[in-house]
């Protein structure tokens, strides 16, 4: 039975995750992981498994938020499908490797990696680094290798990959709104590989709470999905109306606040 306060928190978490998935092309992990870490700890889950459960459950939510988000961006013709196609094989391999690693390292190490990575991305966004005018996307092989890196890092941080995919595509002179739309589509193979990996690596752990499927906590997943699939379309609409610099500042601010909160809770 989910406590009343946790139930409300899960519903609000789902709404926020879906909204930011549509707005920024992220899978919602930057919202879901820090909040679930705090909620799971408050519910008395084993400390050594709290972050693994938060990461696995976050990955599972991305399966659904990415579908809704990519549909909304596709309607705005903002998804570069050839880029998604070339990134996907490497992403699937990278996520499976990343989840294998995540299942073998401590929650503290994962937390340090997650927070450090979020801070680096936020600084990059605030600095507003600009690509060289001649820079362009690499060929299929280059995108495949890029996909391995994105998939591996995204699975360790339980994100849809937007924190890497969006800056990378912008660095290759892809227009920001198309970078966000393409990142939303890339979130689907990341979530697929990551969810399978977290279920597999958490299978049979004796300390996991009832209702867990590997490192995916099904009660939280079910409640979060009630609202997370409803809000991406609102975020996507806003993304195509806001100035580019405003989007970057929103993204950076969100990462800094949630990273600090998660670090404090741990």
Q: What mean pLDDT do residues 243-255 have?
A: 72
pLDDT one-digit tens code per residue, 200-228: 888 888 889 988 999 999 999 999 988 88
pLDDT at 160: 64
On average, the pLDDT of the chain sits at 81
Average pLDDT over residues 225-252: 76
Q: What is the pLDDT of residue 212?
A: 92
* pLDDT of res. 82: 93
Specify the higher pLDDT residue, 110 or 74: 74
pLDDT in tens, 147-173: 898 888 887 776 666 677 887 888 888
pLDDT band at 108 (very low <50, low <70, confident <90, very high): confident
Q: What pLDDT is stored for residue 266 in this prediction? A: 56
Is the separation of the CB atoms in 21 and 145 below 8 Å?
A: no
């Amino acid at each position: 039975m989910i406590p009343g306060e946790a139930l409300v928190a899960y519903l609000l978490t789902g709404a926020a995750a879906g909204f930011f998935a549509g707005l920024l092309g992220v899978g919602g992990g930057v919202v879901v992981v820090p909040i679930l870490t705090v909620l799971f700890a408050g519910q008395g889950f084993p400390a050594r498994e709290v972050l693994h459960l938060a990461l696995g459950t976050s990955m599972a939510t991305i399966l659904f938020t990415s579908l809704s988000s990519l549909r909304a961006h596709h309607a705005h013709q903002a998804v570069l499908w050839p880029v998604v196609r070339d990134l996907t094989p490497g992403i699937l391999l990278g996520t499976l490797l990343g989840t294998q690693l995540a299942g073998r390292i401590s929650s503290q190490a994962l937390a340090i990696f997650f927070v450090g990575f979020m801070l680096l991305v936020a600084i990059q966004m605030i600095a507003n680094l600009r690509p060289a005018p001649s820079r362009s996307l690499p060929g299929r092989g280059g995108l495949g290798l890029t996909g391995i890196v994105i998939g591996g890092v995204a699975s360790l941080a339980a994100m849809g990959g937007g924190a890497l995919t969006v800056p990378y595509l912008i660095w290759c002179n892809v227009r920001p709104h198309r970078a966000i739309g393409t990142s939303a589509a890339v979130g689907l193979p990341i979530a697929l590989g990551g969810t399978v990996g977290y279920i597999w690596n958490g299978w049979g752990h004796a300390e996991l709470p009832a209702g867990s499927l590997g490192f995916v906590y099904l009660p939280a997943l079910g409640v979060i999905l009630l609202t997370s699939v409803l809000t991406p379309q609102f975020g996507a609409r806003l993304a195509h109306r806001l100035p580019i610099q405003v989007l970057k500042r929103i993204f950076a601010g969100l990462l800094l606040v949630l990273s600090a909160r998660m670090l404090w809770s741990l």
